[in-house]
């Protein structure tokens, strides 16, 4: 039972891993022994993340904009051309859009669906040769898609495309899990509750909204870096080799409360 959570010798890609929850995940994977490639839209952020995460292990920052299929294809092509082993893909980059229902614009859909659903699909599709190359039935390659509780219950936020996109990525994860099981690739989604990142800054900046949010979480606190990192390490290491097709809430009990 030793080494259950050891990622020594593995390489992981974490999209959006230079900032926010992606950086929490990247740090956890590095501390478990993996080499980690993180992406950001901004080359300067990718470079800064490489420096900052380098303190915890072998980190590389790459610039990639996943708001177009071409952007996702270019990132995958760069990694496939290099040909270095890749064992873990964590589709964490995400985008939201909020507006009242009556005036929710068309432009609130395209980018959100692209970054949250189509880019993860495109990356998995194009990275399959790398993932298959080192996957074995005893030690599968891993795909982890970061979804949201907002895709599994009604969260009362005016983020219509976001909620739909997250429900879509949860289901797409199950579809791919069944399809890729024969290739020794597991596919799971993680459904975070509320974590202190840019995405929740509008809630955290208002006392009343913050208090309502805490009332809504049975464990009465926001998620911490180790909460999301722990779930990713579990699914990525020997501990998670027999787990595929699940939607794992990391939400302090929000989904349990119904």
Q: What is the smallest separation between the CB atom of 14 and ligand NAP, expressed in angstroms?
A: 9
Mark 148-187 with x for binding to ligand NAP (rule: CB under 6 A) and - for no binding. x---------------------------------------
Name 63's bridge partners: 40
Which of 160, 162, 194, 242 is labelled catalytic? 162
DSSP 111: H
Nearest CB to ligand NAP, comparing residues 11 and 15: 15
192 binding ligand NAP? (CB under 6 A):
yes
- Catalytic status, residue 242: no
CA distance 252 to 82: 40
Tell me which residue has tokens 């791919």.
Answer: 176
Contact 173/189 with Cβ under 8 angstroms?
yes
- Contact string 83-122 vs ligand NAP (x = CB under 6 A): ---------xxxx-------------------x-------
Taking Cα atoms as reference points, which of 168, 170, 194, 162 lies closest to residue 95? 162
User: Which residue from 7, 11, 13, 22 is in contact with ligand NAP, where contact means CB under 6 A?
Assistant: 22
- Which member of 6, 47, 60, 65 binds ligand NAP (CB under 6 A)? 65
CB of 182 to ligand NAP, least distance (A): 28
Q: Is 198 in the site for ligand NAP (CB under 6 A)?
A: yes
Beta strands in the chain (DSSP E): 11-14, 35-40, 59-63, 88-91, 141-146, 185-192, 247-250
H-state helical runs in 56-118: 69-82, 107-113
Cβ proximity to ligand NAP: between 22 and 240 the closer is: 22
Phi, psi for residue 257 in degrees, rounded to 5: -75, -10
Interacting stretch for ligand NAP, rule CB under 6 A, among 13-21, 76-84, 97-105, 232-240? 13-21
- Residues binding ligand NAP: number (CB under 6 A): 28
Cβ pair 210, 184 in contact under 8 A: no
Give least dist CB 3 to ligand NAP, A.
28
- Neighbouring C-beta atoms of residue 82, cutoff 10 Å: 9
């Amino acid at each position: 039972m030793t080494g259950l959570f050891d990622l020594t010798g593995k390489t992981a890609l974490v999209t959006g891993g230079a900032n926010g929850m992606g950086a929490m995940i990247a740090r956890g994977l590095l501390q478990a022994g993996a080499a980690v490639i993180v992406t950001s839209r901004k080359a300067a952020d990718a470079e800064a993340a490489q420096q900052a995460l380098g303190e915890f292990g072998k980190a590389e920052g790459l610039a990639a904009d996943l708001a177009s299929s071409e952007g996702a294809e270019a990132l995958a092509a760069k990694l496939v051309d290099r040909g270095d082993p890749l064992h873990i893909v964590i589709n964490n980059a995400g985008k939201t859009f909020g507006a009242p229902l009556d005036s929710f614009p068309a432009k609130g859909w395209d980018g959100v669906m692209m970054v949250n659903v189509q880019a993860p699909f495109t990356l998995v599709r194009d990275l399959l040769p790398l993932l298959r190359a080192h996957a074995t039935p005893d030690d599968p390659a891993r795909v982890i898609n970061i979804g949201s509780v907002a895709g599994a219950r009604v969260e009362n936020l005016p983020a219509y495309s976001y909620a739909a996109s997250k429900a879509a990525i949860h289901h797409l994860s199950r579809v791919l899990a069944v399809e890729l099981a024969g290739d020794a690739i597991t596919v799971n989604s993680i459904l975070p509750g509320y974590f202190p990142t840019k995405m929740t800054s509008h809630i955290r900046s208002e006392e009343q909204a913050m208090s309502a949010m805490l009332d809504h979480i049975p464990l009465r606190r926001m998620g911490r870096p180790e909460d999301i990192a722990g779930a990713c390490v579990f699914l990525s290491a020997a501990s998670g080799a027999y787990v595929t097709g699940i939607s794992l809430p990391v939400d302090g009990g929000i989904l349990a409360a119904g």
